[in-house]
C-alpha cells in the first residue's frame, strides 16, 4: 500500500534540475557578494570617565562632576566627545582616504555596561585600519576636549586675576593652583583607558558560513517552488476521463 506523501515526493523529484539551478544561483550570488564586498572589521578603544568632586570653579569649566548620577556621567561624556571637531581632527590625523564623513559613519560611542567607561567602536576594511581608527579617534577627541578646557581655565584665571583681593569670586591659593594645572593638562574627568587591539575576526558570519547558509536557504526555496509546480500539474486533456459519457438518449450525467 503506497503512502500519501509518495506521489507528492515523486512530483518534486521531477523538478530536480530546477532545484539544482536555484541552489547554484543562490550560492553563486552569495559567493560573488563575498568576493566583491570586503568584510568589515571592528575594533574598540576605551575612555575612562572619572567625575571630579563638585566645585564652583570646575563647574564653570563644564567638566563632569561627581554630583551627576553614574549613568548620566557616561552619557554626558559621550556627548562631549562625539563632536564634529573630534571627527574632523581624526580625519586630519588619519589622512586620505579618510574624510570627516567617512570617519563619522565608521565610529560609534556608547557606555560600556554599567561602568565609568565610554567604548569607542570603529569599523574598517582591515583589522589594522579598524584598530587605528578607534585609537586615533580617542586621541583626537581627548585632544579636542582638553584644548577646550585649557582655554576655559586660562580665561577663568585671567578674569579672576583682575578681581581685587577679597572680592567674591577671587580664587584662593588651592583653587588657583588647580586651575593652573588644568591649563596645562586639560579635562581631569576624561582620559584614555585602553587602546584598540587588532580584531581576530570580521563582523558577522565568516564567508564559508554565508555560502553554506545560502545553499540551505536556496534548497528550501527551490523545494517549495518545485512542490508548488508539482501541485499545479494536471494530466493532458486527451488523457482525462470525460466528465459526461454519451448514451443512446443523449449525454449521461
Assess whether pLDDT exceeds 90 at residue 124.
yes
pLDDT of 43 strictly over 80: yes
CA angle, 31 as apex, 29 and 36 as ends, to 5°? 95
Q: Please check the confidence at residue 250 and state whether its pLDDT lies above 70.
A: no
CA dist., res. 42 & res. 107, Å (int): 10
Q: Which of 29-33, 110-114, 127-131, 218-222 has the highest mean pLDDT?
A: 127-131
Torsion region of 160: left, alpha or beta (phi above 0 gives left; psi -120 to 50 gives alpha)? alpha
What is the rounded (10 degree) CA torsion for 127, 197, 110, 184? -120
Residue 190 β-bridge partners: 49
On whether the CB atoms of residues 172 and 160 are closer than 8 A, the answer is no
3-state class (DSSP) for residue 75: helix
> DSSP letter at 164?
P
Strand partners, 49: 190
Cell of 144: 579636542
Residue 19 vs residue 130, higher pLDDT: 130
Cell numbers representing residue 202 in the block: 570580521
Cα distance between the two ends of the chain: 32
Average pLDDT over residues 195-204: 86
- Asked if 118 and 76 touch (Cβ cutoff 8 Å), the reply is no
Q: What is the pLDDT of residue 88?
A: 97
Q: Give the model's pLDDT for residue 235.
A: 45
Mean pLDDT, residues 41-68 taken together: 82
Q: Is the pLDDT score of 239 beyond 50?
A: no
Cell 539551478: give the residue: 21
84 near 100, Cβ under 8 Å?
Answer: yes
Between 164 and 86, the higher pLDDT residue: 86
Main-chain dihedrals φ then ψ at residue 121, nearest 5 degrees: -100, 135
pLDDT at 194: 83
What's the pLDDT at 42?
95
Supply the mean pLDDT for the chain.
82
Amino acid at each position: 500500500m503506497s503512502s500519501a506523501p509518495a506521489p507528492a515526493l515523486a512530483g518534486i523529484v521531477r523538478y530536480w534540475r530546477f532545484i539544482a539551478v536555484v541552489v547554484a544561483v543562490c550560492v553563486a550570488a552569495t559567493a560573488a557578494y563575498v568576493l566583491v564586498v570586503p568584510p568589515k572589521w571592528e575594533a574598540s578603544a576605551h575612555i575612562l570617565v572619572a567625575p571630579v568632586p563638585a566645585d564652583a570653579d570646575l563647574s564653570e569649566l563644564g567638566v563632569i562632576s561627581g554630583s551627576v548620577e553614574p549613568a548620566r556621567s557616561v552619557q554626558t561624556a559621550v556627548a562631549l566627545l562625539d563632536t564634529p571637531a573630534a571627527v574632523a581632527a581624526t580625519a586630519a590625523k588619519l589622512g586620505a582616504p579618510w574624510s570627516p564623513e567617512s570617519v563619522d559613519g565608521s565610529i560609534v560611542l556608547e557606555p560600556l555596561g554599567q561602568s565609568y567607561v565610554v567604548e569607542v567602536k570603529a569599523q574598517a576594511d582591515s583589522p589594522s585600519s579598524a584598530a587605528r581608527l578607534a585609537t586615533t579617534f580617542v586621541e583626537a577627541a581627548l585632544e579636542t576636549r582638553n584644548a577646550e578646557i585649557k582655554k576655559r581655565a586660562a580665561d577663568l584665571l585671567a578674569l579672576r586675576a583682575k578681581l581685587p583681593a577679597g572680592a567674591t569670586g577671587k580664587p584662593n591659593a588651592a583653587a588657583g593652583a588647580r586651575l593652573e594645572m588644568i591649563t596645562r593638562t586639560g579635562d581631569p574627568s576624561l582620559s584614555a583607558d585602553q587602546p584598540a587591539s587588532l580584531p581576530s575576526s570580521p563582523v558577522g558570519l565568516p564567508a564559508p558560513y554565508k555560502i553554506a547558509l545560502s545553499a540551505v536557504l536556496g534548497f528550501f526555496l527551490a523545494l517549495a517552488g518545485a512542490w508548488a509546480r508539482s501541485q499545479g500539474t494536471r494530466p493532458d486533456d486527451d488523457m482525462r476521463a470525460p466528465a459526461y459519457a454519451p448514451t443512446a438518449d443523449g449525454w449521461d450525467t
